[in-house]
């Protein structure tokens, strides 16, 4: 309960921060964009990782206002980067189920784009596979509205849902993000090797791009390159960085 009241005040106290993890194109190792990852820096609790407060934010509905801040801040930041560097980088933002189901969600996204002057094509919304599969009537309309705004849509944590693949053909997704649990166990002997390879091939035949998450070792990267995976993200390149670190990292890697 104490955490809840601290969480309620966190926005006005400006305790939320974003970290950015680069997403690299495997073909030429250039930076395609970044995933924004939320952090809560509270004077009493210290740095609280998202796994420890997002469930509470979901339960209380606070995720709607927090998520609105995340989207706006992410758009503002990437818009600033584009002006500074001249590179058309993309920002990927995680969207939680409660936030996605908010009747004002589409409006929130379009307002953030308008306020920051960012074109929709530079914002990617990561929707978890579980949300897509829970079969809500509104899902279809919301995804289509976002698609019409030019926003990119990706399936996050791909492979951890219930493997009902039909939605991939019916919904306007651009990208699959292969969950790090598959990438983590990649080696020539494991079933994950076959799974990852099958996911990449299936995605490509449906016209989707693929991001491998949680890439930690060079041999994983080599396997993914051989399998023609499009993008990779993970500790092999860097952990999530603050804005200043991110820009430094980019200037060393572009
Ligand atoms: O960096 P990592 O420990 O930061 O993130 C842990 C989990 O929290 C991941 O599943 C990630 O998708 C989720 N997460 C990180 N940032 C956000 C956010 O801004 N909104 C939502 N809904 N989830 C987030
Ligand atoms: O659920 P989502 O895909 O949004 O999760 C992103 C999470 O993955 C964040 O917590 C981020 O810090 C974490 N992450 C990023 N790169 C790696 C990695 O190489 N290995 C592991 N284990 N986690 C990673
Ligand atoms: Mn994600
Ligand atoms: Na994931």
pLDDT band at 50 (very low <50, low <70, confident <90, very high): very high
Is the pLDDT assigned to residue 142 strictly greater than 70? yes
Compute the distance from residue 176 Cα to the ligand 1 centre, in Å: 17
Exposure class string for 147-163: b at 16+ Cβ within 10 A, else e = beeebbbbbbbbbebee
Domains, the chain, in order of start with CATH, read 2-253 (3.20.20.450)
Mutate to test the pocket of ligand 2, among 176, 180, 210 (most ligand atoms within 8 A of CB): 180
Query: Any residues with Cβ below 6 Å from ligand 1, and which?
Result: 37-38, 49-51, 54, 67, 70, 94, 96, 240
Is the pLDDT assigned to residue 189 strictly greater than 80? no
pLDDT band at 88 (very low <50, low <70, confident <90, very high): very high
Compute the distance from residue 72 Cα to the ligand 1 centre, in Å: 16
For the chain, first and last CA: distance in Å? 46
The residue ranking higher by pLDDT, 184 or 50, is 50
The three-state secondary structure class of 185 is coil
The residue ranking higher by pLDDT, 130 or 161, is 130
Note the helical H segments in 134-214. Answer: 137-148, 167-170, 180-184, 191-205
Percent share of the chain, pLDDT over 70: 97
Residue 250's Cβ-count burial label (10 Å; 0-12, 13-18, 19+) is buried
pLDDT band at 239 (very low <50, low <70, confident <90, very high): very high
Compute the distance from residue 59 Cα to the ligand 2 centre, in Å: 23
Whole-number Å distance between alpha carbons of 104 and 126 = 18
Rg (CA), the chain: 18
């Amino acid at each position: 309960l104490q955490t809840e009241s601290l969480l309620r005040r966190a926005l006005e106290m400006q305790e939320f921060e974003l970290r950015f993890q680069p997403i690299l194109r495997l073909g030429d190792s250039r930076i395609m964009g970044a995933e924004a990852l939320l952090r809560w820096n509270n004077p009493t609790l210290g740095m609280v990782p998202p796994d420890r407060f997002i469930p509470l934010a979901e339960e209380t509905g606070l995720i709607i206002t927090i998520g609105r801040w995340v989207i706006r801040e992410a758009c503002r930041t990437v818009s600033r980067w584009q002006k500074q560097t001249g590179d058309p980088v993309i920002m990927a933002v995680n969207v939680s189920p409660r936030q996605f189901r908010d009747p004002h969600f589409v409006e929130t996204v379009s307002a953030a784009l308008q306020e920051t002057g960012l074109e929709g094509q530079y914002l990617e919304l990561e929707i978890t596979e579980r949300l897509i599969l829970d079969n809500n009537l509104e899902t279809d309309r919301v995804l289509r509205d976002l698609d019409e705004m030019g926003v990119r849509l990706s399936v996050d944590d791909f492979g951890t849902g219930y493997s009902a693949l039909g939605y991939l053909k019916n919904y306007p997704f651009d990208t699959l993000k292969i969950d790090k649990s598959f990438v983590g166990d990649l080696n020539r002997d494991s079933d994950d090797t076959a799974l990852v390879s099958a996911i990449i091939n299936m995605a490509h035949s449906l016209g989707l791009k693929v991001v491998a998450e949680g890439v930690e070792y060079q041999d994983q990267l080599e396997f993914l390159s051989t399998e023609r995976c499009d993008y990779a993200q993970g500790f092999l390149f860097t952990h999530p960085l603050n804005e200043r670190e991110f820009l430094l990292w980019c200037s060393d890697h572009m």
